[in-house]
């Protein structure tokens, strides 16, 4: 059940309506069952969805030149402002600052892309 729910979240991150009820409806189970499954891994569905959105947004910021507004849309944030607010709350910096910090270090040298062998 958990694998199926995680997969559904991953495939639906751009859906602004992604929540406990939509997951339950899509899986044919009750919202309580969805909450219980996520409770078993120590989180809530809402927290898991937010973290999945943040993880994907961070990856896109590091690995693409997409506009931040486009990344917000692709990852299910209502808009650029919402994504910026969540980034500041969770990471202490804006998406632009996150992208800039990842791409260059303190000496101005470009950092390698994730997974590259540099």
pLDDT of residue 32: 98
| pTM for this model (two decimals) | 0.83
Could you tell me the residue ranges of all domains in the chain? 2-103
**Sequential DSSP letters for 77-103:** -SSHHHHHHHHHHHHSS-HHHHHHHHH
pLDDT in tens, the chain (118 residues): 999 999 999 999 999 999 999 999 999 999 999 999 999 999 999 999 999 999 999 999 999 999 999 999 999 999 999 999 999 999 999 999 999 998 865 444 444 444 444 4
pLDDT of residue 35: 98
| Class of domain 2-103 (CATH, top level) | mainly alpha
Question: Residues 98, 101, 104, 106: what is their CA dihedral angle, to the nearest 10 degrees?
Answer: 180
pLDDT of residue 105: 54
Question: Residues 34, 40, 45, 51: what is their CA dihedral angle, to the nearest 10 degrees?
Answer: -150
| Angle between the N-to-C axes of helices 20-27 and 45-63, in degrees from 0 to 180, rounded to the nearest 10 | 100
């Amino acid at each position: 059940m958990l694998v199926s729910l995680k997969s559904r979240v991953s495939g639906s991150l751009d859906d602004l309506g992604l929540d406990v009820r939509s997951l339950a409806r899509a899986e044919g189970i009750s919202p309580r069952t969805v909450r219980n499954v996520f409770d078993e891994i120590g989180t809530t569905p809402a927290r898991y969805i937010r973290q999945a959105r943040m993880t994907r947004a961070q990856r896109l910021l590091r690995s693409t030149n997409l506009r931040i507004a486009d990344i917000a849309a692709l990852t299910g944030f209502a808009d650029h402002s919402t994504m910026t607010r969540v980034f500041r709350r969770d990471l202490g910096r804006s998406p632009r600052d996150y992208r800039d910090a990842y791409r260059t270090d303190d000496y101005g040298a470009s950092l390698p892309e994730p997974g590259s062998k540099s």
